[in-house]
């Protein structure tokens, strides 16, 4: 694909492909992603079972159907299948690494780091899915600080996105937006509440970007299909480099 200077990113918790009707239908997720038409997609709650049908290996199925590359970071097992975060991209990954964000006594959580060359520049993309307890997220904020933001091998532009479960805008939000001066996409949304999809009450899905990246447009992808496909809506942003080489 020829890079034109702008690109689209999205984050989407697909709820294992289970829709509001209780049916596991990953093809609905695929249809939503085709509508979103993003260049880089961070997915959470993805299951991968290579022993079953193609649709059960969700990351590979979605990537192959879209013609994308994919990387998967396993956080735990779900019904004997690998379960975690997946990142899909039109461009190849230069590096991929799973980062453990688990807190003792809580469900295992993680972040998937992928380095992607877009044009002449490198994006360090962190696809995260954080815990549901306030104390748990406080500890995960420190892990994000250490492993995601202060890492010495991130000379390119950083994007941190995913399901933060940070409905009270706690320490995780403060760490990303205040201490490290990342741009919170929320300021560019006509409304921030996106969960649950059918009747949004809280703001769980976030995108944070380095100031070297300019947000052109942001939205939740909300239509009849996306309201049925998962309990989350895709959060989408059109982005450009401020200083193009």
φ, ψ at 228 (rounded to 5°): -95, -30
Measured CA to CA, the distance from residue 229 to residue 12 in angstroms comes to 11
Burial class of residue 121 (count of CB atoms within 10 Å of its CB; 0-12, 13-18, 19+): middle
User: In this structure, how many other beta carbons lie within 10 angstroms of the beta carbon of residue 168?
Assistant: 12
- CATH architecture of residue range(s) 7-240: 4-Layer Sandwich (3.60)
pLDDT single digits (tens) 140-195: 988 888 877 777 788 889 999 999 998 877 778 888 877 667 888 988 998 888 89
pLDDT single digits (tens) 121-138: 999 999 999 999 999 998
Asked whether the predicted pLDDT for residue 45 surpasses 90, the reply is yes
- Label residue 49 by pLDDT band (50, 70, 90): confident
φ, ψ at 29 (rounded to 5°): -60, -40
Q: What pLDDT, on the 0 to 100 scale, is given for residue 177? A: 79
Q: What pLDDT, on the 0 to 100 scale, is given for residue 76? A: 80
Measured CA to CA, the distance from residue 108 to residue 131 in angstroms comes to 8
Q: What pLDDT, on the 0 to 100 scale, is given for residue 81? A: 76
Rounded (to 5) percent helix, strand, coil in the chain: 25, 40, 35
Residues in the chain: 245
Q: Using alpha carbons only, what angle is made at residue 176 by residues 183 and 74, rounded to the nearest 5 degrees?
A: 110
Measured CA to CA, the distance from residue 94 to residue 120 in angstroms comes to 13
Task: Return the HEC string of 44-100.
Answer: EEEEECCCCCHHHEHHHHHHHHHCCEEEEEEEEEECCEEEEEEEEECCCEEEEEEEE
Measured CA to CA, the distance from residue 209 to residue 64 in angstroms comes to 28
Residue 211 DSSP label: T
Measured CA to CA, the distance from residue 178 to residue 147 in angstroms comes to 17
Task: Return the HEC string of 121-148.
Answer: EEEEEEEEECCCCHHHHHHHHHHHHHHH
Contact at 8 Å (CB) between 189 and 159? no
Terminus-to-terminus CA distance in the chain, angstroms? 18
């Amino acid at each position: 694909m020829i890079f034109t200077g702008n690109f689209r990113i999205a984050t989407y918790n697909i709820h294992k492909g289970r829709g509001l009707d209780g049916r596991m239908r990953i093809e609905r997720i695929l249809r939503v992603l085709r509508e979103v038409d993003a260049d880089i997609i961070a997915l959470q709650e993805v299951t991968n079972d290579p022993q079953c049908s193609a649709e059960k290996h969700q990351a590979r199925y979605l990537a192959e159907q879209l013609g994308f590359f994919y990387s998967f970071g396993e956080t735990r097992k779900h019904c004997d299948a690998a379960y975690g975060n997946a990142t899909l991209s039109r461009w190849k990954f230069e590096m991929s690494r799973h980062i453990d964000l688990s807190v003792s006594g809580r469900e295992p959580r993680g972040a998937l780091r992928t380095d992607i060359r877009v044009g002449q520049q490198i994006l360090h993309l962190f696809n995260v899915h954080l815990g549901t307890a306030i104390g748990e997220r406080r500890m995960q904020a420190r892990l994000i600080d250490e492993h995601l933001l202060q890492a010495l091998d991130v000379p390119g532009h950083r994007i941190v996105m995913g399901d933060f479960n940070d409905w009270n805008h706690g320490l995780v939000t403060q760490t990303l937006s205040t201490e490290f001066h990342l741009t919170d996409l929320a300021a560019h949304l006509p409304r921030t509440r996106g969960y649950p999809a059918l009747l949004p009450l809280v703001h769980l899905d976030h995108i944070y970007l380095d100031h070297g990246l300019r947000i052109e447009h942001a939205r939740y992808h909300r239509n009849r299909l996306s309201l049925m496909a998962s309990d989350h809506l895709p959060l989408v942003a059109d982005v450009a480099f401020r200083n193009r080489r």
